[in-house]
Amino acid sequence: MNYISNTPGDIEEMLKVIGVKSIDDLFADIPASVGLNKKTALPAPLTEIEAGDLLTEIAGRNCVLKSFIGAGVYSHYIPAVVDHLASRSEFYTAYTPYQPEVSQGTLTAIFEFQTLICRLTGMDITNASMYDGATSLAEAVFMAVRSGNRNAVIVSDTVHPHYRQVLDTYSRAGGIEVRTLKSKNGAVTAGDIDMLMDDAVSAVVVQNPNFLGCCEDLVEIADAAHSGKAYLITVVTEPMSLGILKSPGEQGADIVCGEGQSFGNPAGFGGPLLGILAAKDSFLRKMPGRLVGKTTDADGTEAYVLTLQTREQHIRRDRATSNICTNQGLCALRSVIYMTFLGNTLRELADLNHRLASYLKRRLVEMGFTPVFERPFFNEFVLSFDDVERVRSALRNDCYQFGVPLGRYYPEHENSLLLCATEMNSPADIDRLVSVIEQTL
């Protein structure tokens, strides 16, 4: 936003129109006890050149962190074309596309988003994005409960802890019983699912790759869920993994939900994020949010419209299918541009992620750090350290963000770190990290 200065005359005229005598009168409703009641100690004014020099000097004190953190939000390279196209004013200022005759560009982009997500997940339908991965899981569970007419779900403890917290909040309000499935050696087993299964269970929820970085056996889990007449909901927080792993649909999932931030959206200190919700076509009438359909107009020209949305969530309140009534349109647009730009090279990029993570793990294990789980992984894994906080603190001083301590989520892994490597961590970066560890520890 541009700064537009106001002359004393401008200010006087505006105050007169408003009907107050001074600018201070505009803040009369704020209690004096919370006011500063003194002038701030601002430095003397600077020229534009001086201000630029000062800001450059301040910026020079910054430490540009090299991150080895994932845990649901991932640092991936964003090609310049994503920012360039997504920043066009017709996208940035686009209104909610209820009027298709003036929203064909936005609707086309959303339709392409749906198409690409369906191809990646192996599902038949997807909506026009959710708020984030956590609310996407909650909506997936609600959709399964509505479809199965059962009020209990089995949720693996290797699903992202923040997602499970959001689900617990939704479930308490929705009268849904959440049964926690305890993992063993970093993953869940069909036998453990069978022990929790009964006629009240509508769905089994697992994450793949899970929060501990391990790949689950979705085929085995799907068979266990389906034998109990329950749906399998697969959570995906790192969609880059779909470049080399079999799609959840191929492995028996009925609903896929999760996070799409990895595709063209920056980590951004944890947001904004981009929820994904896809399912088999039997869920078409139960799916919340927006869906875009492709048709032809009266002249036979290709056209796009919002479809299968009665807008009931806008008017039915507590009896609505969902309270989701919008989507992350700009984030979804960025993901469309990103996926279209990458095309089939997504597989190569996913393979690079895996190779870099494998290299990081191998170098750290060679130094004596212990792997906690011996299971296949994508770009995240868990290692055990004698003093987690000492390691992280020492590396932070050298501008490294090193892993997520698992003790805050899993007390049994108090001395473990969840580590991640993406294409943003080159072999040279990893070698420098190892060198810093050797010098500081």
Residue 149 gets the label, from left (phi > 0), alpha (psi -120 to 50) or beta, of left
- What is the C-alpha separation between 221 and 194, in angstroms, rounded? 10
> What confidence score (pLDDT) does residue 312 get?
52
Strand order in the sheet with 275-279: 125-126, 275-279, 255-259, 231-236, 201-207, 152-156, 177-181
Q: Residue 318's pLDDT is what?
A: 65
pTM of the model: 0.87
Q: Residues 209, 220: contact at Cβ < 8 Å?
A: no
pLDDT number for residue 59: 93
Return the bridge partners of 259, or none: 275
Run of H or E including 30: none
CB-CB contact of 421 with 240 (8 Å): no
Which distant-in-sequence residues (6+ apart) come within 8 Å of 379 by Cβ?
70, 74, 213, 238, 240, 241, 353, 354, 356, 357, 420, 421, 422
DSSP bridge partners of 295: 303
Between residues 219 and 106, which one has the greater pLDDT? 219
- Residue 264, pLDDT > 70, answer yes
Nearest to 255 by CA among 272, 226, 277, 270: 277
In the predicted structure, residue 309 carries a pLDDT above the cut 70: no
Asked if residue 137 lies in contact with residue 106, where contact means CB atoms within 8 angstroms, the answer is no
Token code pair at residue 409 = 């989520």
What is the rounded end-to-end Cα distance, in angstroms, of the chain?
Answer: 47
DSSP letter (8 states) at residue 216:
P
Question: What's the pLDDT tens digit per position in 333-360?
Answer: 999 999 999 999 999 999 999 999 999 9
Provide the pLDDT for residue 35.
81
Does residue 430 surpass a pLDDT of 80? yes
C-beta separation of 275 from 257 below 8 A: yes
Name the nearest CA neighbour of 406 among 421, 422, 385, 424.
385
Nearest-angstrom CA–CA distance, 224 and 214: 19
Q: What local confidence, expressed as pLDDT, does residue 96 receive?
A: 73
Q: List domains and CATH numbers for the chain.
A: 66-75+344-440 (3.90.1150.10), 80-342 (3.40.640.10)
Whether residue 98 is predicted with pLDDT greater than 80 in this model: the reply is no
Whole-number pLDDT of residue 99: 78
